[in-house]
A and B are shown apart, each in its own frame.
Chain A
Amino acid sequence: MQSGRSVSRLEKNTTALNRKSRESYLILLASNDKEASQKLAMLLTDDGHTVWKTDNGAQLLETFDWQQPDIVIVDTDMPIIGANDATKLIKRLAGDSFIPVILMVPDADREAKVRYLEISGDDFINKSCIICNYQLVVAKIQALMRISKLYRKLEQQKDMLKNHQQMIFSEQQTARQLFEKFLHSPLLDSSGIRYLQSSMGIFNGDLLLAAHKPAGGLRVMVGDMTGHGLSAAVGSVPASEIFYSMTAKGYSISDILVEINQKLRRLLPTGNFCAASIIDFECGRQQVSVWNGGMPDVVLFDSCRQKIKEKIGSGALPLGVVDGDALNTSVVYVDIMPGDYIYLCSDGVTEARNPQGDMYGAQRLMDSIQRQGRKANAFDAIRRDFESFTDNEQISDDITLLEITCSRALIDHDDTADLQTHEKGKRPTAWSVELRLDADALRETDPRPLLTQLVMDLQDLQTHRDRLFTILAELFSNALEHGVLELDSALKNNHSGFIEYYEQRKQRLASLESGWIRISLEHIPVDCKGELHITVEDSGRGFDFQRHQAALSENTTHSGRGIALVRSLCQDLTFQGQGNSVRAIYAWGNCDPPH
């Protein structure tokens, strides 16, 4: 027979092909044409593939559902469920996987080929090809399988990426928690401070720090690192570390600014910096000192007269831009009343946009504070104004908005409550230290934190730290301001005088040529307790302390507060010499067992 001869020739060819094709596939074949499908099945099986035959659409789908083949060959002439519908259903069952479908079409029907490819099939073969051009069939199968494999590879990569993304996300969440633990001060959650903070991404490039100073009074810092995200947040770690440790040791705002500036200058690449505003509440004096470098105005709201009383604008470069000497670290002093409120924010607030693209702006914020400041829940109202303007528009920067209630911030934080009467650990030992500072040193050095730390290191009196610092601070200030600089403390009795006083202090210190202060610390053990003898002498003329003795102890004005306070903390306070020397005795300890 003619066909028999062609088959045998074909058989030789397929054997050759068989050697070439390494892959073997699971092929699902659906056809009503018994002769055609049998021939095709035989050829494919000889080639090493596994062929499952079905003769109608329904059976095709059932088989497909049972086990997905690598490739499907569908005869367009098929009962029960037509080829088109069947193919569509197969594609749906395959879901995300790509399972090629080849349609067997009768030779004559040209439109059919176009139609089937358009609708659902991936390729087609003429029925006659099965016999006369089997190689084409094989080639098509190979081509489609290559595509299928590529598809599978893409799916795998997609899964890998997804897992990777999950991993990074959970790493970032952990890092974020670390940051928060590090940066977030519990003081922020105490009454007296209301705030709104939101970050653009997982990490916040805005800083919000708060601490109590050892001598009493709150210190708050709001910072804004350039940019946002992790690279911005990283700089906040050293900055906050410096803020907290130096505040605890009693350093001033200016000292802290110099340190943070230097650190960021060294650490951050050029172009990155930290805008910041810092506020210090001085308790006892109804005053704040403010530093603003690159931030929006710090606003003081007078709740008595129900209006904005003062705005402190940026007066210096942000931190990390220039070297130490070029940075202006001087602060502005502002008088406050207990009923006042202070508002700070980062530029994420003033530069936030609404859906129409308008910026909130400093003026709108001022208006909002002006309008809402008098209300009982002012902060919530101000926040609502802001949120209704931005109207859920996607935030494009980190946002910080803060309200401080002055009456709360001015309260001396109570350190007597947790004062332990029994000192654990170090026995009292005998030691002494003398420090002498001449004019140059007085200009450059602040010995108070240094000396306090020294006492802590030598005698471990941590629970007494604040009080010791206060004593040293007051005695030193006295010696410097009245003894060496010869400032008149009477100036401090009124508001404008206060500013004048500090101006004079700055000037006289800057131009100081001669003078000295000597501080001696002597520690004397007494049984299991101790006494710290602090002597401060200065090169000044002194004063008639005997005459002023009574006045001093009763004096509750600004200038007298210091000495009266020291007296209340010490066992003894005596002026000596010509009044240019003072000795304080601080007794600590308790020999009773702990309770």
Chain B
Amino acid sequence: MSITSRISEDGREITIYIKGRFDFNSHQEFREHYESINHPGAKYIIDMSGAEYMDSSALGMLLLLREQAGEDKANIDIVQCRPEIRQILEIAHFHQLFKIH
């Protein structure tokens, strides 16, 4: 499991790349990444192309991110989901809370 991120030039957008298993072990690391940007109205892109698996604590982590990003005003895109990941997000009905591509 590894998480890397890239912040845009203007500091308003961060892309977080999730690789491997996104589970309760990823908690600390994931948080460090999304906390590294602190701009109200910032855009968060979560790139799941390398993610193999997601459990309910990973869903919880996305909710924590959403809280930081402004709840209903949050601007979060979850992109490049493999079918397994997409299915987990769909069952959790997370398309109601996040933009999923």
A317 near B97 with CB under 8 A, answer yes
CB < 8 Å A-B pair total: 52
Taking CB atoms, residues of chain A closer than 8 Å to B67 are 270
A271 near B91 with CB under 8 A, answer no
A321-B97, A322-B97, A351-B55 in contact; A275/B92 too (CB < 8 A)?
Answer: yes
A314 near B92 with CB under 8 A, answer yes
B90 near A271 with CB under 8 A, answer no
Judge if B61 is at the interface, Cβ distance under 8 Å: yes
The segment from A288-296, A498-506, A571-579 that touches chain B is: A288-296
Q: How far is the CA of A295 from the CA of B61 in the complex (A)?
A: 18
B60 near A226 with CB under 8 A, answer yes
B86 CB to closest chain A CB (Å) equals 13
Q: Which of B24, B56, B59, B94 gathers the greatest number of chain A CB atoms within 10 Å?
A: B56
Q: Which of A296, A321, A347 gathers the greatest number of chain B CB atoms within 10 Å?
A: A321
Q: Bin the interface of chain A by size.
A: 20 to 34
B84 CB to closest chain A CB (Å) equals 9
Taking CB atoms, residues of chain A closer than 8 Å to B92 are 275, 294, 314, 317-318
Taking CB atoms, residues of chain A closer than 8 Å to B57 are 226-227, 271
User: Residue A271 contacts which of B64, B94, B97 (CB distance < 8 angstroms)?
Assistant: B64
Judge if A326 is at the interface, Cβ distance under 8 Å: yes
Per-position 1/0 for A215-259, Cβ under 8 A of B: 000000000101100000000000000000000000000000000
Q: How far is the CA of A315 from the CA of B92 in the complex (A)?
A: 9
Residue of B nearest to A320 (CB): B63
Residue of B nearest to A227 (CB): B57
A296-B91, A314-B92 in contact; A272/B97 too (CB < 8 A)?
Answer: no
Residue of A nearest to B84 (CB): A359
A201 CB to closest chain B CB (Å) equals 14
A224 near B56 with CB under 8 A, answer yes
Judge if A313 is at the interface, Cβ distance under 8 Å: yes
A271-B63, A321-B63 in contact; A227/B93 too (CB < 8 A)?
Answer: no
Q: How far is the CA of A2 from the CA of B67 in the complex (A)?
A: 89
Judge if A316 is at the interface, Cβ distance under 8 Å: yes
A226-B59, A227-B24, A275-B56 in contact; A317/B96 too (CB < 8 A)?
Answer: yes
Per-position 1/0 for B75-99, Cβ under 8 A of A: 0000000000000001111101100
A271 near B61 with CB under 8 A, answer yes
Taking CB atoms, residues of chain B closer than 8 Å to A318 are 92-93
Per-position 1/0 for A327-354, Cβ under 8 A of B: 0000000000000000000010001000
Taking CB atoms, residues of chain A closer than 8 Å to B61 are 271
A315 near B93 with CB under 8 A, answer yes
B7 CB to closest chain A CB (Å) equals 23
A321-B97, A326-B96 in contact; A313/B60 too (CB < 8 A)?
Answer: no
B96 near A271 with CB under 8 A, answer no
Q: How far is the CA of A273 from the CA of B67 in the complex (A)?
A: 14
In the complex, chain B residues 42-70 whose Cβ is within 8 Å of any chain A Cβ: 55-57, 59-61, 63-64, 67
User: Dominant SS at the B interface?
Assistant: helix
A322 CB to closest chain B CB (Å) equals 7
A271-B61, A321-B63 in contact; A227/B56 too (CB < 8 A)?
Answer: yes
A565 CB to closest chain B CB (Å) equals 37
Taking CB atoms, residues of chain B closer than 8 Å to A295 are 91
B63 near A294 with CB under 8 A, answer no
Taking CB atoms, residues of chain B closer than 8 Å to A315 are 93
Taking CB atoms, residues of chain A closer than 8 Å to B94 are 317
Taking CB atoms, residues of chain A closer than 8 Å to B60 are 226-227, 270-273
B66 CB to closest chain A CB (Å) equals 8
User: Residue B91 contacts which of A226, A313, A397 (CB distance < 8 angstroms)?
Assistant: A313
A317 near B91 with CB under 8 A, answer no
A317 near B64 with CB under 8 A, answer no
Per-position 1/0 for B5-36, Cβ under 8 A of A: 00000000000000000001000000000000
B96 near A314 with CB under 8 A, answer no
Per-position 1/0 for A301-316, Cβ under 8 A of B: 0000000000001111
Taking CB atoms, residues of chain A closer than 8 Å to B59 are 226, 273
A195 CB to closest chain B CB (Å) equals 21
Residue of B nearest to A396 (CB): B55
Q: How far is the CA of A317 from the CA of B92 in the complex (A)?
A: 6
A171 CB to closest chain B CB (Å) equals 24
Q: How far is the CA of A351 from the CA of B85 in the complex (A)?
A: 13
User: Residue A317 contacts which of B24, B55, B93 (CB distance < 8 angstroms)?
Assistant: B93
Q: Which of B24, B60, B93 gathers the greatest number of chain A CB atoms within 10 Å?
A: B93
Q: How far is the CA of A293 from the CA of B90 in the complex (A)?
A: 11
Taking CB atoms, residues of chain B closer than 8 Å to A321 are 63, 97
Q: How far is the CA of A322 from the CA of B71 in the complex (A)?
A: 10
Taking CB atoms, residues of chain A closer than 8 Å to B63 are 270-271, 273, 321
Residue of B nearest to A361 (CB): B84
B68 CB to closest chain A CB (Å) equals 9
Residue of B nearest to A318 (CB): B92
Q: How far is the CA of A322 from the CA of B92 in the complex (A)?
A: 12
A318 CB to closest chain B CB (Å) equals 6
What are 21 A-to-B residue pairs whose CB atoms are below 8 Å? A224-B56, A226-B57, A227-B56, A271-B57, A271-B60, A273-B59, A275-B92, A294-B91, A294-B92, A294-B93, A296-B91, A313-B91, A314-B91, A314-B93, A315-B93, A317-B93, A317-B94, A317-B96, A322-B96, A347-B56, A351-B55
Besides A317-B92, A321-B97, 7 other CB < 8 A contacts? A227-B24, A227-B57, A294-B91, A314-B92, A317-B94, A318-B92, A318-B93
The 3 closest A-B pairs by CB, nearest first: A271-B60, A317-B93, A314-B91
